[in-house]
Amino acid sequence: MKQNDNEFMQHDLRLPELTVRGMLLGAILTVIFTASNVYLGLKVGLTFSSAIPAAVISMAVLKMAKDSNILENNMVQTQASAAGTLSAIIFIIPGMLMIGYWQGFEFWQTLLVSACGGCLGVLFTIPLRRAMVVHSDLAYPEGVAAAEILKVGSNAAAASKQGSGLKEIMSGGIVAGVVALLSNGFQVLSGGLSLWFHVGRGMTQFPIGYSTALVGAGYLIGIASGLAMLVGILIAWAGFVPFYTITSALPDGMTMQKFAGAVYQERVRLIGAGAMGVAAIWTLITLAEPVIEGVKESIASVRMSDGEKDKHRMDIDMSIKSIGLVFALTVAGLLAIFYAFVSPEGLPLMQNLTFVLVGVGVAVFMGFFVAAACAYMAGLVGTSSSPISGIGILGIIVASLVMYALCTSFGIFSLPGGEKFATATAIFTTSIIMAIACISNDNMQDLKTGYLVGATPWRQQVALLLGCVVGALVIAPVLNLLYEAYGFPGALPRPDMDPSQALAAPQAALMTTIAQGIFSSQLAWEYIYLGMGLGVLLVIADQILKRNTRNLCLPPLAVGMGIYLPPSVQTPLVIGAIMGYFLNKKLKERKGEEGRKNGMRRGTLFASGLIVGESLVGVALAGVIVVSVTSGGSDSPLALVGKDFADTAEMLGLAVFLVTLAIFGKTVLGNKNN
C-alpha cells in the first residue's frame, strides 16, 4: 500500500493516542505476555506475537470508556507487543547458567541488557520506516492482521460491511481457538505429523504442522515467500539430511530417526545459518539506498524551521535530538552494566575497559545491521515465524571470534576459568544483539499497523520504548522462578532434581554449544562455509529470475529460513501461501476483479482471526500451566489422554486440519452473491 493510498492520509485525525489509561493497560498486558512468552520459549523454543491478542483485549477493555478510539487501542498493542517480543532474549541468556558462570539470573544485568538492547532496537529501525513500511510491498502479516482487527473493531457498529468483517475474524478466532485448546490443552489432537522413510541407507522425513495460526500467516505472506521456504525445506530434507545420513556412520546405540534429527540440528541448521547470513548481508545492500534516503529525510526535517508543522502527523518520527538522547542513555547503561559484568574477574583496569568497549561496540555495530535484516524478515514472513534464533547464531559466532582474539592477546586462556569467562563474555555480548534483534523484528509490524490505521509514528516509537522497559522488569524474575522450578540442561539448582523435567531452552543450548566449540576449536565451520556458498548461489538465482521473468523470484532469505527452521513450523506457512494463490486465481475467474478483492479481504480477516484465536488460547494455556507447575502440579494440567493416544491424535489432528482448510477456502470464496 503506497502512502497516498492510505485512507487515513486524507484527513488529520485529532484523536488521543498516548493516554494514561492506555499505557497502564499496555503495562499490564506487557507483564502477562512477557511471562507467558518466557515460559513457552524455554519449554518448546517458540514465542508468539502478542500484538494481535493485545489489540483484541485492548478493544474489549477500553470499549467501556465512551471516548476510546482506534489510535488508543493501537498504542496499547504497540506497547504490549514490544515486551512480548523482547522475551526472545531467553534464546541466549540461559547459557550463562548452562556454563556455570551464573548461579541464578542477575536481576540488574538481565534488566539493563534487555531494556537497553530493546531501546536500541527501536532506535535503529526508525530510519527504516519510510523504506520498509511506506514505500514497500512487504507483507507484514501480523501488522496487517492487527490493523484489520482494529479497523473492524472500531467500525463494527457504524457499517454493516465492517460488521461482516468482524464476523469473519470471530469465526477464524473460534476455529483456531478450539483447535489450539484440543491440541495444546486437552492433547487429543496432535500438533503435526511426521512421516519418516528410508532413502537408501539414510533417512529423512515428510512433516506437516497443524498450526492454524501459521496457515493464516502463510496466507498473508504470499506465494513468493511461501515457495521460497518450500525450496529451503526440500534442500534440507530432500538433500542434505539424506546425504549426510547415507554418507555418515550411524553412532552406536542411536536409532536412524534420532540420527537424522541430530544431523539436522548439528549440521543442516548451521548450513541454513550460513545461507541466512549471506542473504541478510545482501538484503542490507539492496536496502542501503532507501535507508540512506530515509535518514536524509529525517535529518532534513529537523533542520527545517517549524518543519513538523508542514508535515502530516503520520510522517513524523522521533526527532534526531530525541533519538540521540535515548541512544546516549542506552549506550551508557550498556557500558555500565558490561563493566559490572567483567570487573569481578579481577583483571587489570585497562583490560576491563577494553572488554567493555569492545563488547558494547560489537553489540551496537552488529545490532544496527541485524535490525535491518530482522525488520525485513518480519515483513517477509511475520514476527512469529521470523528466525530470530538464526540471527542469534550469527551473533554468537561473531561475538565469540572477537572475544577469542581479545582473550588470546591478553592471555586470558592461561588463567583459571579463562575459557569460561571468554564464553560468558561472548554470550553476554550476544544477549545485547538478541535484544536489538527481537525488538527490530517487532517494531516494523507495529509501525505497519499504525500506518494502516492512521497512527503518529513518533508516539508509537515512544510506546515501544515504554514496552521495552516494562518488559525488561519482568524477564529476570520469571526466569529465576522457572529456573528454580525446573532448571535447564546441565544447570539444575538442586541435586535431587530430575534432569528429564528440565526446560529444554533449545536455542540457548545450541548457541552455548557453538560458543564453547569456538573457544575449544571444535566448531564445525565447514557447514557454515557451505551455507555461505549456498547463500551466494541463491542470491544469484534470485537476480537471474527477476531479470528474465516478470513474476518469478526466489527470496534468498526465505530459502535460508526454509533450511534453518523446523519443517513442522514451515509447512503450514507454505500451505497457507499456496492456498491463497489458488483462491486468488479462482476468485478472479469466478467473480472478476472486484469480487477477487472482496474475497481476498474476507480471507485476510479470517486469517487474522486464526492468528488471534491461537494466540489468545496460547496465552491462557501458558497461564494455566505456570499456575499448575508453581503449585506442584503437572505441566499438562488439562491433558485428557496419555502418551499411548499419540497415533490416534495424529490422525485426528490431520482430519481437523483438513476441515479447517476447507472452512478457510469456503470463507474466501463465499457464496454466489458476495
pLDDT in the model for residue 410: 87
pLDDT in the model for residue 159: 43
Per residue in 479-501, pLDDT tens? 777 777 677 777 777 676 667 66
| Mean pLDDT value across the chain | 80
Length of the chain: 674
- Facing residues of 206 across strands? 195
pLDDT in the model for residue 289: 66
What is the rounded average pLDDT of the residues 455-470? Answer: 84
Q: Which of 245-254, 312-321, 481-490 has the highest mean pLDDT?
A: 245-254
Query: What confidence category does residue 401 fall into, taking pLDDT thresholds of 50, 70 and 90?
Result: very high
What is the rounded average pLDDT of the residues 608-630? Answer: 74
- Facing residues of 198 across strands? 203
CB 315 within 8 A of CB 297: no
Q: Which residue has the cell 500451566?
A: 625
**Nine cell digits for residue 218:** 502463510
Q: In whole angstroms, how far apart are CA 39 and each of 36, 43, 469?
A: 5, 6, 19
pLDDT in the model for residue 405: 92
Buried-state track 156-185, b at ≥16 Cβ within 10 A, e below 16: beeeeebeebbbbbbbbbebbbbbbbbbbb
pLDDT in the model for residue 615: 67
pLDDT in the model for residue 551: 73
Statement: residue 216 has pLDDT above 90: no
pLDDT in the model for residue 500: 62
Q: Rounded to the nearest 5°, which phi and psi values hold at 137?
A: -105, 20
Least Cα distance to 572 among 242, 149, 221 occurs for: 221
- For residue 239, give the amino acid letter: G
Q: In whole angstroms, how far apart are CA 595 and each of 123, 385, 447, 602?
A: 42, 30, 29, 11
- For residue 44, give the amino acid letter: V
What is the rounded average pLDDT of the residues 33-51? Answer: 66
Least Cα distance to 381 among 220, 618, 234 occurs for: 220
Q: Which of 2-11, 20-29, 384-393 has the highest mean pLDDT?
A: 20-29
Q: Which residue has the cell 527452521?
A: 565
Distance CA 596, CA 599 (A): 5
Per residue in 138-174, pLDDT tens? 778 778 877 877 877 766 544 444 444 667 878 888 9
Continuous H helices in 631-645: none
- Look at 235-244, 272-281, 338-347, 657-666 and tell me which has the smallest mean pLDDT: 272-281
Statement: residue 519 has pLDDT above 50: yes
What is the rounded average pLDDT of the residues 557-572? Answer: 82
What is the rounded average pLDDT of the residues 22-27? Answer: 83
Per residue in 110-144, pLDDT tens? 888 888 988 998 888 887 777 777 777 777 877 88
Statement: residue 303 has pLDDT above 60: no
- Look at 121-125, 264-268, 562-566 and tell me which has the smallest mean pLDDT: 562-566
Share of residues in the chain with pLDDT > 70 (%): 83
- Look at 122-126, 315-319, 639-643, 651-655 and tell me which has the smallest mean pLDDT: 315-319
What is the rounded average pLDDT of the residues 209-217? Answer: 85
- Look at 18-22, 238-242, 360-364, 570-574 and tell me which has the smallest mean pLDDT: 18-22
pLDDT in the model for residue 284: 65
Query: What confidence category does residue 608 fall into, taking pLDDT thresholds of 50, 70 and 90?
Result: confident
Query: What confidence category does residue 20 fall into, taking pLDDT thresholds of 50, 70 and 90?
Result: confident
What is the rounded average pLDDT of the residues 312-333? Answer: 84
- Look at 459-463, 504-508, 592-596 and tell me which has the smallest mean pLDDT: 504-508
Burial class of residue 320 in the structure, from the number of CB atoms within 10 Å of its CB (0-12 exposed, 13-18 middle, 19+ buried)? middle
Query: Can you give the pTM of this predicted structure?
Result: 0.72
Least Cα distance to 347 among 429, 402, 425, 427 occurs for: 425
pLDDT in the model for residue 439: 81
Please report the DSSP string for 63-77 in residue order: TTSTT--HHHHHHHH
Q: Which residue has the higher pLDDT, 657 or 674?
A: 657
Q: Which residue has the higher pLDDT, 375 or 241?
A: 241
- Look at 28-32, 269-273, 516-520 and tell me which has the smallest mean pLDDT: 28-32
CB 453 within 8 A of CB 151: yes
Query: What confidence category does residue 305 fall into, taking pLDDT thresholds of 50, 70 and 90?
Result: very low
Work out the angle between the directed axes of helices 567-630 and 141-155 (0-180°, nearest 10).
60
pLDDT in the model for residue 660: 94
**Nine cell digits for residue 238:** 530432500
DSSP run (H or E) holding 240:
none
Per residue in 83-115, pLDDT tens? 656 666 777 888 888 888 888 788 888 888 888
Q: In whole angstroms, how far apart are CA 648 and each of 57, 370, 652?
A: 35, 43, 6
Distance CA 404, CA 393 (A): 16
